[in-house]
Structure 1
Amino acid sequence: MPKRALIEHRPWLLASVIAALAFYFLRDNPIGGIQLMLLKGAGVALLAVYALRRGSGSDDRLLATYLAFGALGDMLIEIETLYGGAAFFAGHIAAIAMFLRNPRAEPTGSQKGAGVALLLLTPVLCWLLSGSLQVGLYGVALGGMAAAAWLSRFPRYRVGTGAVLFVISDLLIFSEMGPVDLSPIPGLLIWPLYYLGQFMIATGVVQTLLADRLESAWQH
């Protein structure tokens, strides 16, 4: 990664991390609903800006779309869970499209098995934990995103793991809706797991696409 490019774009990542940390520590502070909602959305919104500034290809735009819907979902869920869920659902569709455009060349049997498990078990767990069929249907998109990420050519231990952290974060949210009481774990871990997952997905995809462009430039 060129030093100049790293210095130029690092502030977007730093601002994103600062916004995410600020929300985590201020979320119970009565600073005002709108301000807190905007602060919450800023963390992932800044990741979307980072993605757009690092490239202009179709995959970059799909990543930015996915992150933008995530930021929108972060804010809307503070108003109405259904609205936030719809935004996240749309974002997962964009992510699935991006990951399917970038399949792993020769996935191993264990990698395929993990992908299938994420695809099938995620919606089942969403339904069982929440007791809601609607949440189970959302889990189809969530599991599809995670499975596609795991089987993509992007770094599995960054992008794939980031997607799994997103799944775990959502499962903790849904556990608060059903009969399983995991408190105080959800309150402590939902936001850190979610944001770390989004950060890992964004940086892993962006840096892979950047490496592709640099390699192509050297070849020409």
Structure 2
Amino acid sequence: MARLPVSTRTLAHERPWLLVALTGAVAWYFLSDNEIGGLYLILLKGVGAAALGVYCWRRLSGTDGVLIGTVMALSALGDMAIELDFRAGGAAFFAAHVTAIALYLRHPRQALSNSQRMAGAALLLLTPAVSYFLMLDWAVTLYGLALGGMAAAAWWSAFPRYRVGLGAVLFVISDLLIFARMGPLGWEEIGDLLIWPVYFAGQFLIATGVVQTMRARGSA
């Protein structure tokens, strides 16, 4: 029987972490209103991003692996902490965004078109502005600046825009939906339906996009 190439065997070995991530995310989405207990649901909510972090750490070595794995670990912490305290969860995600910015700045795109520069600038400037409009809170606006900075850095980076860039934009959309739900607009029904799947789709695209790009470059 022919043996699979080493890279293929390794990917097959690591795919269960992606399956764990997807399973955990889907389970939390459908069980979040279940009466199985608050602590269990909090832990379940952290499974998705935590499993993505393990996937990143195992697939990438060196500084890039540490950075993207830490982004996912901090996100998992934020997912759980926000169930107990909104600002504590926001602090964890703020740290995740700063870490992601450091990763993306390590890999700048060599040439940017004017439209690409404008798109990144829009993410950087409009995200905190819209955050303030939705919540009327300066702490949330500061968080929005880190969120927009993360998305802009991803868009301007050498990582693929339709994987990592799109994932970052989905992250922005999910957080703006949170603010729209919590603020004066009160978009509870739309928020409850869309926030989690949009957020996790973004995280999944970011994690897999960074890992596969760096491995294709031989940086694993």
Mapped partners of 2:148, 2:55: distance in 1: 25
1:163 — aligned with what? 168
Which TM-score applies when normalising by structure 2?
0.95
Q: 1:79 aligns with which of 84, 99, 116?
A: 84
Q: 2:138 aligns with which of 120, 128, 133?
A: 133
1:69-116 CA-partner distances (Å, limit 9, x unpaired): 000000000010010000000010000000000011101111110000
Mapped partners of 2:48, 2:105: distance in 1: 26
CA contact (8 A) 1:130 1:176 kept: no
Give the fraction of aligned pairs with identical amino acids, expressed as a percent. 59
Mapped partners of 1:156, 1:81: distance in 2: 30
1:26-51 CA-partner distances (Å, limit 9, x unpaired): 00001111110000001000000000
1:67 — aligned with what? 72
1:74-113 matches, cutoff 5 A: 74-113=79-118
- Equivalent residue letter for 2:9: R
Mapped partners of 1:156, 1:40: distance in 2: 27
2:23 — aligned with what? 18
1:151 aligns with 2:163: no
Q: 1:190 aligns with which of 195, 204, 214?
A: 195
CA contact (8 A) 1:107 1:151 kept: yes
Give 5+ residue unaligned stretches, structure 1.
Answer: none
Q: Which runs of 4+ in 1 moved over 2 A?
A: none
Give 5+ residue unaligned stretches, structure 2.
Answer: none
Which TM-score applies when normalising by structure 1?
0.95
- Equivalent residue letter for 1:32: G
How many residues align? The count is 215
SS of structure 2 residue aligned to 1:154: coil
What CA RMSD, in Å, does the superposition of the two structures yield over aligned residues? 1.3
